[in-house]
Structure 1
Amino acid sequence: MTSEEINILSANVTERKYLKGQYILQQGDVCKHSSFILKGCTKMFYVDQAGNEHIIMLGVEDWWVSDIGSFINQTPAEFNIQCLEDTTLAQFHHATIEDVFKRVPKLERFFRKVTERGLSAALNRIIRNFSMTAKERYIFFKETYPKIEQRIPQYLVASYLGITKEFLSKIKKQLSQES
């Protein structure tokens, strides 16, 4: 990027710090920011009508987090985003992002690529949930995201995998006996 492009970017990014437990976004609110995690860990989740929490995504350093549908369409969010640790974000505001894209076309391409990779990862996760056993999903998660598992409680890993924490304990016990 040129120095002028860096200046445009710097003028339109806000660094924001959140405390552990603090919400970045709540269901029903409109997502005003697309956020890049500089430090910390987040969870994006949905709460169903029965009050059950379903983890959709976990995020750590160098990952993007937002309710992309709410951000793009400026409609009420379907998801909550909450900090699992003290978290620092670089945030792009919806009101200024289009102007930034016009002034720095490289960024629009970058955001498109990030969005494409995110969509691809989400679709692959759906396929894994249909085609793999819970044990296989846990092994995949553990191998793919070893740093995340060490940072979050096991009940959140279980929720992300779509199983109970008791079933995750059984899987982990079984795996330890196999090795």
Structure 2
Amino acid sequence: MFEVFEKYLREWVDISDEEMQVIRAASTEKTLRKWQSILHDGEVWKINCFITSGCFRLYRFGKDGTDHTLRFGVENWWISDQESYNNNTPSDYNIEALAASNVIIWTKESWTALMNTIPALKLFNEKLLARGYEMNQRRIFSLISSSAEEKYLEFQKTYPRVFNKVPLHMVASYLGISRETLSRIRKEFTKPKQKTSRI
């Protein structure tokens, strides 16, 4: 399982074998069942969680009890509640596995210690946070400016391995559209194109 993370990390930064072993020694591997949660609202998120296989979603409940999906996470992605992590405050969110999944976990304390002793990991973390900020910025712009069709196409581009793994209502929730609208859009994009007759 750790080999997946090692390959991923080496694509981001140059890191020695000795440093990689230190990172590995501080990690914990965990297997989760489908629908098993790793965060419930009201809990404080105190870990860094890298997904080696499977699929997760981050969501919260609205005042009417409807759940709203904010993010998905698949292989070679991270999943977290950064607000709870940064401020050490109870989370408003939930994180659950949408399939049998494997993750690698570091506690907040061990991750901070690793960054303080391994410059390459600190550089990686800075790149990761910057990338996350950019993705959130693009998502906000998409939500306020894009049509339902454009959101659908952007979702397929961002999460090519997610669409057929998760229930349709979760995708609709993530896109901020109704399930009926999503079904209509999918039908339109999967229609076979009619051939034009030549005269």
TM-score, scaled to structure 1: 0.94
SS in 1 for 2:170: helix
Question: How far off is 1:30 after superposition?
Answer: 0.4
What amino acid is the match of 1:50?
Answer: D
In the alignment, which of 24, 28, 31 is matched to residue 14 of structure 1? 28
| Structure 1 runs not aligned, ≥5 long | none
Residues in 2 aligned to 1:177 and 1:85: alpha-carbon distance in whole angstroms: 29
Which residue number corresponds to residue 139 of structure 1? 153
Separation (CA, whole Å) in 2 of partners of 1:2 and 1:153: 41
With 81-90 and 145-154 compared, the bigger mean Cα shift is at 145-154
In structure 2, the residue matched to 1:26 is 40
Q: Where does residue 54 of structure 1 map in the other structure?
A: 68
Q: Which of 122, 126, 148 is equivalent to 1:108? A: 122
Amino acid at match of 1:121: M
How many residues in Structure 1 have an aligned counterpart in Structure 2? 179
Alignment of 1:124 onto 2:175: no
Structure 1 residue matching 2:89: 3-state secondary structure: coil
Q: Specify the SS of the correspondent of 2:162.
A: helix
Residue deviations 1:25-54 (CA, integer Å, cap 9, x gap): 111100011100001000001111211111
Instruction: Indicate conservation of the 8 Å contact 2:55/2:97, yes or no.
Output: yes
Match of 1:149 among 163, 166, 173: 163
The CA distance in 1 between the partners of 2:146 and 2:62, in whole Å, is: 24
State the Cα RMSD in Å.
1.4
Q: d(CA) in 1 for partners of 2:31 and 2:75?
A: 13
Q: What is residue 86 of structure 1 aligned with on the other side?
A: 100
**Deviations 1:143-167 (CA, angstroms, capped at 9, x unpaired):** 3322210111111111110111111
SS state of the match for residue 128, structure 2?
helix
The answer for unaligned runs of 5 or more in structure 2 is 1-14, 194-199
User: Partner letter of residue 87 of structure 1?
Assistant: S
Which deviates further from its counterpart, 80-89 or 98-107? 98-107
Q: Which moved more, 1:95-104 or 1:118-127?
A: 95-104
Q: CA deviation at 1:177?
A: 4.2
Q: 1:137 to 1:93 in 2, by over 3 A?
A: same
Q: 2:10 corresponds to which residue?
A: none
User: Which has more radius of gyration?
Assistant: 2
Distance 1:170 1:3 in 2: 51
Q: Percent of counterpart pairs with the same letter? A: 34
The aligned residue for residue 7 of structure 2 is none
| TM-score, scaled relative to structure 2 | 0.85
**Following TM superposition, by how much is the alpha carbon of 1:108 offset from its aligned partner in structure 2, in angstroms?**
1.3
1:36 corresponds in structure 2 to 50
1:172 to 168, 172, 186: 186
